[in-house]
Structure 1
Amino acid sequence: MTAPTPRKRRAGRASFGSVRRLASGRWQARYPDEAGQPMNAPTTFETRGEAETHLADVRAQRARGAWIDPRGARIPLHEWIGQWIENGGSRGSLAPRTAKMYRDVARLRIDPSIGAVEVGKITPAAVRRWHTEALKAAGKAGKGEAQVRQAYALLKASLRTAEADGLIAKNPCQIVGAGTARSDERPLMSVEVFGEIVAHLPEHLRAPVVTMIGAHLRLGELVALRRGDLDLDAGTLRIERQIVADGAEPSPTKTRAWRSVDLPASVVSVLREHLASGPTALPGAPLFWGARPAAGGTYTWTGEPLRRAAVQRAWAKARDLAGHPEYHLHDARHTGLTVVAGIPGMATKDIMRRGGHTTMRAALGYQHAVQTSGKVAAAGLDAALAGVL
């Protein structure tokens, strides 16, 4: 009996997908995508062997569950970063000021050089080259190194999401420490120095700034306070919103969590006098009003909420008059928290809660446990402020 003739394999066919020679002389590999639809390899090959090797690699990656569809990474980098910011970054939510900062650094530092490059074609070498050139340009201009650091951190974070989404196999941002801030530690402002600066503030701005140190407020949280947030009888202040820029609508705090802070008795006294000297208002009205100079060195209320810029300008002038130009307004918050941290028995989680350095869930989890320590913190801070306010 005659043995059957072996069946000839069709030219250009592979066990997975197919290869063919193009008119240009290069070879193209084709294979089904995960939905079974035919697709071309992202590049052509010089030889048939290279094309078949690519097919074998794709098949092996599919078997391991490690295959990345290259078509998803064809989006230009500037579009990807724009979508990443719009979708709230890595955590799904960005503070308005953070989102604006990201857009600015992308427009100035990323888009002009590598913004048009497809996400899937960005290599570690390309990132290193971009980063080196950006630092050289910043050094030549004498400014902008901090912005380059922010741009690298943005690039790395957005491409980390691309990796998690399966658009790229590995994040090409591999420069150690390139996105880490290297700013010098801020000098600690003593409560005595704080008192000297406050003494040079306009009368109507002393209560807001004193509240910053007593409740450890960020400036945006200060100007967003309402009358109903203050409970003079209980000596507490509720912080649940911020205003990130003058004219902007209130938004949740930086951590998106509210907190209730026990105030030092001296700060409660200052706030009581502040409310007695100002216009009567409903609980939803601003706690601190704007004011303008009037005759005889006094001030009249404008009827508008206190503005961030007004507090910043007044602080800068007062610190210079007091002979302490090195201190920022935000240092008042750090001074208050540092005093509280030095109180015997004060736990780290209590300090975090007073400063708003936690999530809503964590704050609610130990709120009952720190009720007593909150009063202790307020009393300790009050003792430190004695003779200053």
Structure 2
Amino acid sequence: MAKRRHFGRVRKLPSGRYQVRYPGPDGVLRPADTTFDRKRDAELWLSAKEAEIARGEWLDPEGGKVTLREYGEAWIKERPKLRPKTVVLYEGLFRLHIAPALGKMRLAEITTPRLRKWRRDLLDGGVGPVTVAKAYRLLRSMLNTAVSDRYLTKNPCQIPGAGLEKSPERPTATIEEVFTIADSVPERYRLLVLLACFNSLRWGELAALARKHVDPVAGTVLVERSVVELPTAELVFGPPKSDASVRVVTVPAILLPDVVRHLDEFTGKGAEALLFLGPKGGPLRRSNFQDHWRKAVAEISQPGLHFHDLRHTGNTWAAETGATLRDLMDRMGHSTTRAALIYLHKTAGRDRKIADALSQLVEDSRGGTGRSDGGDQGDADPGQDGGTEGHGEPKGHAGGTRHDQ
């Protein structure tokens, strides 16, 4: 009686050739892609396939037939927890910047040299570095999944630094410039401008605010949803950018009269009435506000200022008031410290004020001796005055200049 193989099966076909079937790591029984003249050759092939699986080098043979376009489109659809805005971003990046050059290629054909050329062609073609970095990161994530699916043995996205964003520093406005803009837009949008800046709110968060989210007595605004405009022009209301973006922000007292006036004059009486409306009474869209913004910005000395720069401006001001890292994260609606650290870095000079204030506390406590040890100042080295002059500012966070999104 022939000994049964512990891995795979070999059988003789009516033609006299031998066919092999083997179990992949997923348990699915698959045939070899060829047949063999001799049984011995078939058994050697099975032994080699078993060793390949043991080394973790096995690839699903069906994966070699899948194109990047097929895989990428399915990859986006198979992520049900993506927020609508993220879906729009991914679909746009894939459709415009990945699929045209790489979509027809089978996954196994995508190599690191080919990706270097793809990235270089995008940059040379005028696509912005930030967009190229986002497209590269999306592709890298897709191909990481392809490795997990055993369609690839290794992710070919191996270009150092290709996924890093190095955005140019965005401008900030002065207080007078912000109020000039607020005074220049139609009255119904004055509060929109002020909350974007002084309460660090994103466009989508502002457009989704309803009367129920605003408490003029407590002076707070609840951010619990955001609105995204899809390429189809459909507006989708949903949760904000992240869990940390669900927050309550306090309105500066000086703006509360604007809040009350806006609620009285421009907001419906129902709790669900939207705070800001378009010119025809529908939900606010960027397209029906953009002309007002351009005209208002033309009144100041920064014609290139974007609406999102109001949030950037407000975050910078908050850091200058002495807000802590946790304060900034809560205000901005961020779960990580990266963006908040950028604003703290911008105001690192405050550390000198803190050090000076601590020195003053010591002087006041020690009777004006100017020495922290209370000793006789007459024996001090003339070159060491015990104060804070001469000490450089501490090095700030080494993050880039990209402002918060």
TM over 0.5: yes
Relative distance call for 1:279 and 1:218 in structure 2 (3 A) is closer
Q: Displacement of 1:130 after TM fit?
A: 4.2
Q: 1:48 to 1:183 in 2, by over 3 A?
A: farther
Q: Distance in 2 between matches of 1:258 and 1:171?
A: 35
The residue identity in structure 2 corresponding to 1:312 is Q
User: Residue 58 of structure 1 aligns to which amino acid in structure 2?
Assistant: K
Q: CA deviation at 1:191?
A: 2.4
What is the alpha-carbon distance in structure 2 between the residues aligned to residue 100 and residue 134 of structure 1? 21
| Candidates 213, 218, 236, aligned match of 1:249 | 236
Deviation at residue 115 of structure 1 after TM alignment: 1.9
TM-score (norm 2): 0.69
- 8 Å CA contact 1:135–1:145 kept in 2: the answer is no
Superposed CA RMSD: 3.7
Alignment partners' CA distance in 2, 1:202 and 1:159: 48
Shift of 1:117: 3.0
Counterpart of 2:61 in structure 1 is 70
SS class of match (1:266):
helix
Report the Cα offset of residue 264 of structure 1.
Answer: 0.6
Contact 1:191 1:335 in 2 (8 A): no
Contact 2:220 2:249 (C-alpha < 8 Å) held by counterparts? yes
Are residues 341 and 72 of structure 1, via their aligned partners in 2, closer, same or farther at CA, if it must alter by over 3 Å?
Answer: same
Q: Identify which of 25, 40, 45 aligns with 2:31.
A: 40
**1:352 equivalent in alignment to 2:337:** no
Q: 2:181 aligns to what?
A: 197
The structural deviation recorded for 1:343 is: 2.7
Which residue in the other structure is 1:132 paired with? Answer: 117
Matches within 5 A, 1:38-187: 38-41=29-32, 55-63=46-54, 67-72=58-63, 74-88=65-79, 93-119=81-107, 121-125=108-112, 128-133=113-118, 135-136=120-121, 139=124, 141-143=125-127, 146-187=130-171
Deviation at 1:43, TM superposition (A): 7.5
Report which stretch shifted further, 13-22 or 104-113. 13-22
Residue in structure 2 matched with residue 258 of structure 1 by the alignment: 246
Give runs of aligned pairs for residues 192-271 of structure 1, distance below 5 A. Answer: 192-245=176-229, 247-256=234-243, 257-271=245-259
Distance in structure 1 (CA, Å) of the matches to 2:41 and 2:291: 67
1:277 to 239, 259, 265: 265
SS of equivalent residue, structure 1 residue 93: coil
SS in 2 for 1:289: coil
Q: 1:318 to 1:44 in 2, by over 3 A?
A: farther
Matched residues in 1 for 2:34 and 2:314: separation? 61
Measure the CA separation in 2 of the matches of 1:135 and 1:260.
44
> 1:237 and 1:342 mapped to 2: Cα distance?
22
2:267–2:275 Cα contact (<8 Å) kept: no
Q: Give 5+ residue unaligned stretches, structure 1.
A: 1-6, 292-301, 360-389
Instruction: Please say if residues 131 and 152 of structure 1, whose CA atoms lie closer than 8 Å, have aligned partners that are also in contact.
Output: no
Letter of the aligned partner of 1:255 in structure 2? S
Shift of 1:311: 3.0
Paired residue type of 1:183: S
Q: Distance in 2 between matches of 1:68 and 1:56?
A: 16
- Tell me the residue number matched to 1:294: none
8 Å Cα contact 1:200/1:322 also seen in 2: no
What one-letter code is carried by the residue in structure 2 that aligns with 1:275? Answer: L
Deviations 1:94-119 (A, max 9, x none): 23233223223322333333323333
* TM-aligned CA deviation for residue 266 of structure 1: 1.5
Tell me, yes or no, if the aligned pair for 2:268 and 2:274 is still in contact at 8 Å: no
Which stretch has the larger CA shift, 220-229 or 197-206?
A: 197-206
Equivalent pair of 2:68/2:102 in contact (CA under 8 Å): yes
CA displacement 1:346-376 (0-9 Å, x = unmatched): 32122111111129xxxxxxxxxxxxxxxxx
Match of 2:235, SS state, is coil
Shift of 1:19: 8.3
| Identity rate, percent | 37
Q: Tell me the distance in 2 between the aligned counterparts of 1:191 and 1:227.
A: 27
Q: What aligned pairs does 1:281-296 form with structure 2 within 5 A after superposition? A: 281-291=269-279
My pick for the range that moved more, 172-181 or 187-196, is: 187-196
For 1:150 and 1:303, how far apart are their aligned partners in 2? 36
Letter in 1 for 2:71: W
CA, structure 1 residues 154+208, in 2 after alignment: closer, same or farther (shift >3 Å)? same
CA pair 144-322 structure 1, distance change in 2 beyond 3 A? closer
